[in-house]
Structure 1
Amino acid sequence: MNDAFFNEKSIWNHKRYHSLDYELKKIYGRKIYKLSLNGGMNCPNRDGTIDNRGCIFCSEGGSGDYAALPSLSITDQIEQAKQLVAPKITNHNNIRYIAYFQAYTNTHAPVSYLRKIFMEALMHPDIVILSIATRPDCLNEDVLSLLSELNLLKPIWIELGLQTIHEVSADFIRRGYPLSVFETAVKRLHEQNIEIIVHTILGLPNETKHDMLNTMEYLGSLPIQGVKLQLLHILKGTDLGRLYEQGKITNVLTMEQYIDILISCLERLPKDIVIHRITGDGPKKLLLAPLWSSNKKHVLNNIEKQLKNKDTWQGRFVHQ
C-alpha cells in the first residue's frame, strides 16, 4: 500500500479505520456502488443437505432481504439495482458497480448454472467486481476452478460466513460446519489468489467481549483481505426471534456496549484488512431487537464520535 496516500489529507474519507469506500477510491479513483443481486439459490442449511431450519438468526430472505427478485435475469437485476442506488449518486459520469450475490449460499448450485449467472454479471460493462457470499463448505474443486477462471477476467471476492470461531456459539446458531472447514476454504481461496472477506457477528447470545475479540485476533492471523462486523439483529419469524419473544434471550447489546466492542475489534485487526461493514441493516418491519439499531445514521454518527474521542490508536487506523 502507498504510505504517502494514507498520510495525505483525503477529501474522500476521514474515518479512523480502513474502510471499503476508502480502499475502492484508492484503487479506482472514484466511489464504487454495490448492487445486491439474487441468483435464486438455496442454502444447504435449509434444503436438507445439512439441516432444514437454517441458521438460528436467518430470515426467510436468507440475508438477502434487500436483493432483487430472482425471477429477473441478472442483467435486469443489475439495471433495477442501479435505479435503486441512483438517488445516492451526485456525479453520474462513468459510474461503476460491484455485483453482489447476497441471498442464501451463492455457490450452492451446479457449476454450469454458476458460470452462466456469474459471467452475465461480469460481462456487464458497468461491473468492475463480482462479490459472492457463500459458505466455506460449498467450495468444491469445480467451484474453485470456476472462481479462479473468472478471477482472470475481473476481481472476484468471496465472502465467507464465519460469524464466530467459538464452537459452542457455532452449534447454538446452527452454523453447520466446524472451524477446520473454514480454515481449509481460506487456504484454498488464498492459493487461487481470490480475495477473501469474512462475515462476523457481534453480540451472539452468551458470547463475551473477550470471545468476540478472540475471533478478531484469529482473523488477523489469516491471509484474508476484508472483514464485515455485523451487529446481531433479532428478527421476527426466526428461531432466534422466537427465543427472544419467550424471554430466553436477554443479553442484547446496548448501543454503548456495541460501540465499545466494535472499536476494540478494529484495534485488533491489522490495518491492511479492509473493513467492509461496521454495523449492518435489519429490516425494520422484522426487527425485534436491538431497536436502537433501526436508526442507522444515529448509530454511525455515535461510532464516529467515539472513534474521534479515542486517544490511543496504536497505529492501527488509516487516518490519525
Structure 2
Amino acid sequence: MSERVAYQSISSVVGSSHYRALSDDALKDEDNAAWVLGLPPGVKQAWIDRIRWIRIVDRLAENERIEPHERRFSRFMEDWRRLRARGILDPSCPFAGELAAIRALWMRGGSGPDRGTGEDEMARRALAAWDAYLLALADYHAPSLLIRTMKDHDTMLMRLSGHIFQLVPFLTKEHWDAAGEFGRLDQFFNNLRDMQEDADRGICYLPGEELARHGVTRAQVISGRCVDTPGYRALMSSWLDEVMPALYARAAPFIDAQDLHPSLQLMKEWSLRRYARITRVFRALGFDYRRFPARYWAEVRRDLAERRQLFRAQPV
C-alpha cells in the first residue's frame, strides 16, 4: 500500500498569505477554489497559474494602500507596461517568472498575438481582460472610494470579477460574455460576504443613491450603526430580492450552459453553492453583517474539515 500524500490546500500553492496586505485571504481562497485540487494535473496547473497571478496583483494593490511608499503594485505595473509595450522583461524584477508565464500564454514576442486563429483571438481577449483588471485594481483600491450610482456599482462588478472570470482557462469565445456576467454575480457575493471587513477598512460598496433612497449614510454602514434601522433593512431586502435576482438573470446563459469544459462546470457548481451559503447566512442573521463573519467562516471551516476527512478516508 502506498503512503498517502498529505492533504494540500489551495492557499498553500497560490500565495494566499505570503504577501502582507489588508487581510489574510487564505480561507477565502479555500472557500472559492478548493475544488481545483481535485482536477487532473495539467488542468489543475492551468487553474493554479491563473489564480496565483490574480492573487499576486490583488495583494500588491492592497499593499499599496497600507504601505504606499513601498510602491509594490506601481512597480509591478511598470514592469508589466514595459513588457506589454516593448517586450522587455527585466529578469531581476520580483515577479519575472509570473510575467514570463503570462507572456508565453497570452503574448507573442512581447505583443498581443496576431495570427488570427481562434486560439489567438482568445489570447487577445484574455490579455485585454488582464489589462482591464489591473486598471480596476488601481481604481478600486484608491483611498476614499465612493460608489455613487447603481450604474457605477454595476460597472465596478464587471471591472473586478467580471474580468477575472474572463481570464479562466478553457473558456471559449461562445461563453466569453456569459462568463463576464457570471463574474459580475460573483463580485456581488464577494462584496456581500465582506461587508464587515470592508467597513473595518473604511470602505462601503453600496451605491450612494441607494443609501440615500433608504435614509442610510455611508458613515452608518462603516460604523455598523445602520444595522438596526428600518431603512437599512429595507435596503438589504431590495438588494437580495431585486438586485440579486437581476444579476442571476444576466448570468443565466453561463449558469445554464451545458457545453462548458468540465473544470468550468465544476467551478460554476462550487460557486453557486457558495452564493447560496452566503445568502442563507446573511438572511438568517437579519442582514447583520457585523455577525456574519463569525457564522459564515465557521461553516466554511466545518465544510473544509469534512472535505479533508473524506480525503483521508479514500482508499490508496
| Larger RCO (CA under 8 A, 6+ residues apart) | 1
- The TM-score with structure 2 as length reference comes to 0.32
- Richer in strand (by share): 1
- Richer in helix (by share): 2
